[in-house]
Structures are given as structure tokens and as C-alpha cells.
Amino acid sequence: MDKRYDIAVVGAGIVGLACALAAARRGLSVVVIDRDAQANGASIRNFGFVTVTGQPRGLVWRRAHRSRAVWDEVAAEAGISVLQRGLWLPVRRPEAVAVLDAFMATEMGEGCRLLTADEARVRAPEATGPETAATLWSPHDLRVDSRTAIPRLAAWLADRYGVVFLRQTAVHAVEPPRIVTARGVIEAGAAVVCPGDDFASLFPDRLSSAGLVRCKLQMMRLASPGFTLPAPVMSDLGLVRYGGYADLPEATALRARLQAEQGDALANGVHLIAVQDADGALVVGDSHHDAATPDPFAGEAVDRLILDEWRAATGRPAPPVLQRWTGTYARGPHASLIEAPHPRVRLALVTAGNGASTGFAFGEEVIANLFEETSEP
């Protein structure tokens, strides 16, 4: 053992990297340990959509605002391209327009605009379908390509702050100053465990009592549609999934109508997010199925529901599918979990499927909790 670190972070997904950044910005020496050779979990399987608009009101919405600001800082310094900005949310049903009207009347609507169908058609004709009744435009969100952004973020943490990465190293026990790995013991004064949806390897009793499940999502990459999206696209179905809209009283009528008209989509947790890569290709999803261990199989019927929603929202045919994959994330009764299984250890999970959107702010909270608070979290 030749070095003692101030802090060890287990897990090199976005939550672990966010904790590493927050610790490094305090001048602490940091080691990040991950069992995989490179990030391969939810953090690179996602849309890279840093969603502010529609996050649940209060804490999560504030975290998303803060995280978006950190993404902007980090992207500029680390050479990560911000590929899209904003949100384009065309809706088709009067019940959905009522939800958006109500949303605009809250503090969450600040800076957003609710466009009529004609205004939307002028601004982005390709992303406005014949059934579009109104479109929410928000400037608050951004999108990176996680497949390249996460590796670049890790490389920048190493270059800029001297964060050390130990890859292909499983962690078996976290008892500062001893961090026991499959390759030997690391010494660290404190530790943060960010295991994503691995509830079995470290502190399994703590995690099993937290009411967590693993949620499986289906995703596709489609060929370029031949036009540029005005921003990441969502649709009516998103208004009953994202708490910023879904928790408004007006969402009840929309949910009832969607249940009658798109019951299959609701039963499979399908809604639409479509984002665009630099080469024009689209990343489109997704669905939600919970299980203790989700199977790895992507059902064609579920993919069809997602593609149907793209067609309905934009009025455009779905381009050919280039890739399909599934991803899983930790889902729980609360937006996140911070536990202290040891005075100098924090167990830290984002449990609402929005780690790309809230992770940086969450990481700052976790590190503040670890170093500034004396009581249990």
C-alpha cells in the first residue's frame, strides 16, 4: 500500500463521477474504483438528456437546475459537446394542453413558452405533427452523448484533478481506512459507494430494506430522419411520467384518456424521448419494466409502441433501426438515497431514473453530508 487517499468512490457511473468531482473540487485526493473496464451501465446507456423541465417540483427540480449548470461548466472544460439544448414537447390532446397550461402557471414554467400549433409549425415544421394541438418549448435542458461524455468526464477528472481510476476491480468491503478489493486493500480516510443498481455486493441489508427494484428500459438508435430536431422531443405520454407535469391535478384527466387510447403504452411504461446525435441519428426510447433481476430481452412489441409514439408526435415515419439495447437503473420510493452505514461512509444512489439530470447536484450533497455533518443523514 503506497498511498492513502482522502476518499474512495466505488462506482464510475455518473453518480460516482459526480461525487469524485465534488470531492476533488474541495482539494481532496480521490480514487474511483469500478469493476468494469469502462463505464457500461445506465450512465452510458441513457439518452444523455439533462432534463430540467418536468422534473418533480422542489428538491429534484432544483437539483436538475444545479446539475445542468455543472454540466455546462464541465462540458466547456472537458471538451464535451453539448449536442442539443432545450425541450420540444408537442401534444395532441386537449387534456394534455390543459396540463401544459397549468404547468406554465407554476414557477417551473418560467422561461418556457407554450406555442400554438401554427407557431410550432413555423418554428419546427418537421417536429410538428398534423395532430399537434400545442407545443411546450423550454430553454432549460441540454443533451450530451453519454457514450463519449462519460469516458471524457472520467479522463478530465484524472487530468485536471489527479483523480486515480482503478478499473476491473471489484470492491468487496468498505471499512475506512480499509477498502477491500479483489486486487488487494486500498487505504482511504472515507468512502462513497455509488453502486447503481447492484444491490447485492455492498451493504445488501441496507439496500434491501430501502424498497428498491431494478427497472429495465428498451432503447433504439435510428438512422437520421433527414432533418434536425429543434431540441430533444417528448410527447403526451411524458406528461403522465414526469412529476413536474404528472403531479398537477390536470394530469388526472389526461391519464384517463391515455388509459383508454394507449393502454398498452401505459402498461409497458412507454413514453417518448427522441434526441439527436451529431451525425443526425436519433436515440429513441423508452419503456419501464421492474424486476429483482430484469431479463435482458428487448420485446419487439414494446419497441413498436415507442416508434408509434414517434410517428404520432412528429407525423413522420420512423427511420430504420440501427441499434437496440436495454438498460437498467435503481428505482425506489424516493428520488434518491443517502445512508451512513459507517460514520465515514455514504451509500449514495439516485433512485428515480434521472441520474444524468440530477447527479452533479446530488454528488455535491453527498460529499457535503460526509464531510460537514456530524449526525446521521
Ligand X SMILES: Cc1cc2nc3c(=O)[nH]c(=O)nc-3n(C[C@H](O)[C@H](O)[C@H](O)COP(=O)(O)OP(=O)(O)OC[C@H]3O[C@@H](n4cnc5c(N)ncnc54)[C@H](O)[C@@H]3O)c2cc1C
User: Within 13 Å, how many C-alpha atoms sit on residue 60's CB side?
Assistant: 23
Instruction: Cell numbers for 250, please give them.
Output: 390536470
Is residue 199 at the binding interface for ligand X, with CB under 6 A as the rule? no
What is the smallest separation between the CB atom of 215 and ligand X, expressed in angstroms? 8
Q: What part of residues 316-335 is at the interface with ligand X (CB under 6 A)?
A: 327-329
Is residue 284 at the binding interface for ligand X, with CB under 6 A as the rule? no
Give 16 or 244: the residue with its C-beta nearer to ligand X. Answer: 16
Out of 81, 148, 201, 369, point to the residue binding ligand X (CB under 6 A).
201
Residue 38, classed as helix, strand or coil, is coil
Element (H, E) at 282: strand 282-285
What is the smallest separation between the CB atom of 187 and ligand X, expressed in angstroms? 17
CB 230 within 8 A of CB 86: yes
**What count of other Cβ atoms lies within 10 Å of the Cβ of residue 88?**
26
Which span sits near ligand X by CB under 6 A: 9-17, 203-211, 248-256, 298-306?
Answer: 9-17
Is residue 303 at the binding interface for ligand X, with CB under 6 A as the rule? no
| Residue with grid cell 419503456, as numbered in its chain | 287
Is residue 287 at the binding interface for ligand X, with CB under 6 A as the rule? no
- DSSP single-letter state for residue 233: B
Is residue 360 at the binding interface for ligand X, with CB under 6 A as the rule? no
Which span sits near ligand X by CB under 6 A: 12-20, 23-31, 125-133, 252-260?
Answer: 12-20
Q: How many residues bind ligand X (CB under 6 A)?
A: 43
101 exposure class (CB count in 10 Å sphere: 0-12, 13-18, 19+): middle
Rounded to an integer, what distance in angstroms lies between the CA atom of residue 240 and that of residue 309? 14
Rounded to an integer, what distance in angstroms lies between the CA atom of residue 338 and that of residue 351? 10
Give 197 or 250: the residue with its C-beta nearer to ligand X. Answer: 197
Which span sits near ligand X by CB under 6 A: 35-43, 234-242, 262-270, 313-321?
Answer: 35-43
Is residue 356 at the binding interface for ligand X, with CB under 6 A as the rule? yes
- φ, ψ of residue 100 to 5 degrees: the values are -70, -35
Is residue 19 at the binding interface for ligand X, with CB under 6 A as the rule? no
Out of 54, 195, 230, 363, point to the residue binding ligand X (CB under 6 A).
195
Is residue 115 at the binding interface for ligand X, with CB under 6 A as the rule? no
Is residue 117 at the binding interface for ligand X, with CB under 6 A as the rule? no
Is residue 244 at the binding interface for ligand X, with CB under 6 A as the rule? no
Beta strands in 122-258 (DSSP E): 134-143, 164-166, 171-175, 178-181, 184-193, 213-222
CB 350 within 8 A of CB 362: yes
Rounded to an integer, what distance in angstroms lies between the CA atom of residue 279 and that of residue 282? 9
DSSP H helices in 280-341: 300-314
Give 81 or 201: the residue with its C-beta nearer to ligand X. Answer: 201
Out of 20, 30, 51, 115, point to the residue binding ligand X (CB under 6 A).
51
Which span sits near ligand X by CB under 6 A: 14-22, 84-92, 93-101, 289-297?
Answer: 14-22
Q: What part of residues 210-239 is at the interface with ligand X (CB under 6 A)?
A: 217, 219
Is residue 41 at the binding interface for ligand X, with CB under 6 A as the rule? yes
Instruction: Cell numbers for 226, please give them.
Output: 433527414
Assign residue 179 a region (left: φ > 0; alpha: ψ between -120 and 50; beta: otherwise). beta
Binding region for ligand X (CB under 6 A): 10-16, 33-36, 39, 41-43, 45-49, 51, 170-171, 194-198, 201-202, 217, 219, 286, 327-329, 349-350, 353-357
